[in-house]
Structure 1
Amino acid sequence: MRISYYALGCKVNEYEAAAVINQFLERGYRLVDFDEESDVCIINTCTVTAVSDAKSRKLIRQAIRRNPAAVIAVMGCFAQLNPGTVSRIPGVDIVIGTSERHMLVELVEKCLREKQACCLVSSVNNLHAYEELKIDKYISRVRGFVKIEDGCDNFCSYCAIPYARGRVRSRAVADVIAEIKRLVASGIREVVLTGINTAAYGADLKDYSFANLLEDIFTQVPDLYRLRISSIEIAEITDEFLTTIARHRDRFCPHLHIPLQGGTDRILALMNRKYTTTAYAEKLAKIRELFPGINITTDVMVGFPGETEEDFAQARDFIESMNFGEMHIFPYSPRPRTKAAAFTGQVSPEAKKARVRALLELNRVQALRYREQFVGQVLPVIVEKVAGGITYGHSGNYLEISFPGADAEINSVQSVRLTRAAYPLSRGEVDV
């Protein structure tokens, strides 16, 4: 039997889709590309923005048109919050949300036998334990993503994800360590820890923190070449965390993605982000003092309800002063169940687009400036792709670099001297 899948949205979605596919591979299914004909097609949906909702619906319909005879199974955050909408799409056979993923193989095989549709979406309020999804066969050859927690307790006023994922649930330490060891044994050099609120790991555990987990990973997996964190909230950057990564700086990637979202204290308060611009700036200064040259990247939302032109101008000035290595910029969109959806002062689409354009230009300038400081330096680059006589990969501080050569092995580490800074792709040459 042929199976295909597509994961929209974050790295957690990609991880979960890969974990589910693993279960099918163990049953003898054969993985094919999403645009190929298949007998079973799985779509892992996203609901972080209105655009994500639209993409989810579009992708489901595309899969049905491409594979009219296949079993179509839909999972993920959009399905969790909109089970009725998804199950009413003609051609959808199975709907689960952000749990019961371990049951998907049985549900699919029952559907293949009985041709009976199924919608199994449980309330996230009943989720109190992490759902372990073991991965033994790794689809990626280079960067290994390891999910360490699910859920979020922050309830930012614009975000529907806590309603789709539930509260923080940490994965068992032994399971995290075991998976990283399997990844390293399979040849993976870089492991990326990910989750819905990654560094909230341990919030539901007794006397065990995210920093404790990092220490155990570095200590118990000595052959791991380098470790990266997909994202970390400013409140989770504790002294204990900084001390731990500083102690293992030779294997910790000098790159932190720290979402900012709002650039003024007034908007941050409306967002329920629980910090000020001053606190954010002070924390970044402390990090840069400990790790000179570290790449700090961020997420920024524009057009939040009530954001005036004066607010945006002030936010832009603050963002510029932070000297981010890269920004992910997106316009606010109302999300069901969130407080912000009912706020007054909704910003026009035209104003949102203009603010996105302004920050994209700032991002282009600042991202290039960050990269220019490394021209002439030699950076360790893990090879991810070789095409047309050119090799591509990322450095520890997450610079994408291309350099001449067709002989480098995928997943090998090359010492590359940066010769030309550009964004998003810089150029270099192997240092000999």
Structure 2
Amino acid sequence: MKSVALHNLGCKVNAYELEVMQQKLQDRGYKIVPFDSDADIYIVNTCTVTNIADRKSRQMLHRAKHRNPDAVVVAVGCFVQAGEENRMDACIDLAVGNQHKKDIVEILEAYLEEHTADASAVTDIGAVREYEEMRMEQSTEHTRAYIKIQDGCNQFCSYCIIPFVRGRVRSRKQEDVLAEVRGLAEKGFQEVVITGIHLSSYGMDFIGETDGDYLKNGKDLRGTAFERAYLVSLLEEIAKVDGIRRIRLGSLEPRIITEEFAGRLAAIPQLCPHFHLSLQSGCDETLKRMNRHYTAEEYYEKVQILRKYFEHPAITTDVIVGFPGETAEEFAVTKTFLEKVHFFEMHIFKYSRRKGTVADKLPGQLTDAQKTERSGQLLALEKEQSREFRAHYLGQEVEVLIEEQKEIGGKVYWLGHTDTYVKAAFAADSAECMDYSNRLVHGRAVSFLSDEVLEIALNF
């Protein structure tokens, strides 16, 4: 029995795909071992979103080969998809592109039989139009399962390489999604997280000229109402699956939020009021250089729609600081806008140049010191806003899906998340001697255990 060690880099979609690959290998009889142990085969699910991600991918691949020079090192995903020069790295024995992850076992076994030099299974992803069907039967997560429903992106933001390594938008058939959700629900999963590379484009590729109704008054409606309808209809069907108590959404583009869309979401009892709306900048001039297709004011209008239909929703976002050409005045505009919106959480990223993107060649590249100083300001703001959001729940009843036991301040607690993704916990010695993992509990939030965790008093 050959041993396989796997390591994931990058996004939640990558994590989902690695779990499916691991599952396929286990089903074929391979022994899964930790990545830092000796193995016959090392598989690294790579990332290439920034130059730093490229470097991390190389480091993990070289670390594997250094640990066992006789092992087969397999580079999978975006790093090898980005270019032949990456696939030619001396430490890589086998390269597998994004469209062939579902075939990892067959590709690996063909290589082991033939040991073809410089073996590669990488397709021109830009020409791929069919969704690569993968199905997760069991997640390594204890309480929630990630469900990938879409791949690819057509947005071409000026800083992003993803459309070139993930290809055009490809959506998963509703019946395949529901089959996976039912299987996971039968295994006890109560929460599913719906994710994709560009989730808001789900269904775009289902619309063709044969539909005859995507054109109205000469206007192409693809990218607007049709995708919203496909996505929300899928969510409504997922909500009908027995055992699913929570549905959480991955990252959304702000343009998808409309009165109708929010209203239909609010009518789904299982839908968690937790929305990640990608922003990147609060300054219109910066957004134009990023090739983002909305203004700051339009973004704010979308947030207000969500706050109209959901009571105290958790709004989270991504912000890039130090984008090429960002002046001190533009940064100040962004900071003021972030204060105005008042997010639950903000993921602050210092702009990282990525070869092959438009932004890499833009004038006005900022120094790392400038980016670090601006990032520090926003991180401080994020910490303040995040604590204020959590403090809202003090004295209130909350529902928590318990995930694990964790030591906090020298004491053991049962820890989980509310529907708005706030961490909450109760002392293990305050409850009956039983396993609370994957149980929904109710209690009153009474205090902060830490900046990120609320303590609750259970309702027994």
Per the shorter chain, which TM-score range?
over 0.9
- Tell me the matched-pair count: 429
Partner of 1:209, secondary structure, is helix
Matched, 1:267 2:286: yes
Query: RMSD of aligned C-alpha atoms?
Result: 1.5
The Cα offsets for residues 11-43 of structure 1, whole Å up to 9 and x where unpaired, read as: 000001111112111111122222222222111
Partner of 1:100, secondary structure, is helix
Please give the TM-score of this superposition, normalised by the length of structure 1: 0.96
Determine the C-alpha separation between the residues in 2 that align with 1:236 and 1:363. 25
Report matched runs for 1:143-292 at 5 Å: 143-206=144-207, 209-219=230-240, 221-248=241-268, 250-292=269-311
Partner of 2:101: 101
Structure 1 gap ranges (5+): none
The Cα offsets for residues 340-391 of structure 1, whole Å up to 9 and x where unpaired, read as: 1111111111100111111000000000000001011121111111145311
Tell me if the contact between 1:380 and 1:416 (Cα under 8 Å) persists in the aligned partners: yes
Please give the TM-score of this superposition, normalised by the length of structure 2: 0.90
Partner of 1:401: 424
Tell me if the contact between 1:93 and 1:111 (Cα under 8 Å) persists in the aligned partners: no
Report matched runs for 1:71-90 at 5 Å: 71-90=72-91
The Cα offsets for residues 384-432 of structure 1, whole Å up to 9 and x where unpaired, read as: 1114531111111001123201633321112132222343233223233
Partner of 1:116: 116
Partner of 1:386: 405
The Cα offsets for residues 263-286 of structure 1, whole Å up to 9 and x where unpaired, read as: 101111111111001111111011
Instruction: Compute the displacement of 1:241 (Å).
Output: 2.3
Partner of 2:239, secondary structure, is helix
Tell me if the contact between 1:71 and 1:108 (Cα under 8 Å) persists in the aligned partners: no
Structure 2 gap ranges (5+): 208-225
Tell me if the contact between 1:211 and 1:240 (Cα under 8 Å) persists in the aligned partners: no
Q: Which AA in structure 2 matches 1:289?
A: K
Partner of 2:221: none
Determine the C-alpha separation between the residues in 1 that align with 2:35 and 2:396. 40
Structure 1 pair 387–333 and aligned structure 2 pair: CA distance change class (3 A): closer
The Cα offsets for residues 85-124 of structure 1, whole Å up to 9 and x where unpaired, read as: 243233x211122111123212212332333341222211
Which of residues 420, 423, 426 is equivalent to 2:451?
423
Instruction: Compute the displacement of 1:339 (Å).
Output: 1.2
Determine the C-alpha separation between the residues in 1 that align with 2:31 and 2:436. 26
Tell me if the contact between 2:263 and 2:309 (Cα under 8 Å) persists in the aligned partners: no
Tell me if the contact between 2:185 and 2:242 (Cα under 8 Å) persists in the aligned partners: no
Partner of 1:204, secondary structure, is helix
Of stretches 291-300 and 202-211 in structure 1, the one that deviates more from structure 2 is: 202-211
Q: Which AA in structure 2 matches 1:42?
A: I
Instruction: Compute the displacement of 1:64 (Å).
Output: 1.6
The Cα offsets for residues 160-192 of structure 1, whole Å up to 9 and x where unpaired, read as: 101111111000110000001111111001100
Tell me if the contact between 2:262 and 2:305 (Cα under 8 Å) persists in the aligned partners: no
Determine the C-alpha separation between the residues in 2 that align with 1:337 and 1:279. 29
**Aligned residues with identical type, % of pairs:** 38
Of stretches 297-306 and 17-26 in structure 1, the one that deviates more from structure 2 is: 17-26
Which of residues 414, 418, 421 is equivalent to 2:441?
414
